Amino acid sequence: MDLPASGSRSFTLQTGIRPQAVAGITVANDANTLTVNTQAATFLFNKAEFLVRGQSFQVQSGGANYQAVPTNWTIEEQGPMKVVVRVEGV
């Protein structure tokens, strides 16, 4: 549509088909496990150990080997699009 210089015209915008509601992220938190389901993927954490890519999280420092041992799992934020899990340990 062409308008002359300094011209004006009113338009009404309408949406097309309303998108389906997203089910969102769900969290199942029990004594031994924490499960986060994003609908695209499910992440299962064993609260007795802290694994990164299936391997125990270890750090070497000063010739000593240290392994992360989780002591507390806290869901800090839980919304339809994001979950923040805090893992504390020794």
User: What pLDDT does 21 receive?
Assistant: 66
Residue 76's pLDDT is 96
Q: Is the dihedral of CA 73, 78, 80, 81 positive or negative?
A: negative
Global model pTM greater than 0.95: no
Q: Which residues contact 2 (CB under 8 A, 6 or more apart)?
A: none
| Domain limits, the chain | 26-89
What is d(CA 21, CA 32) in angstroms, rounded to the nearest whole number? 31
Among 8, 87, 9, smallest CA distance to 52 is for: 87
Position 33 scores a pLDDT of 95
Q: What is the pLDDT of residue 80?
A: 86
CA atoms 37, 46, 74, 67: torsion sign: negative
Mean pLDDT by 10 residues, the chain (90 residues): 82 79 86 92 90 83 89 93 91
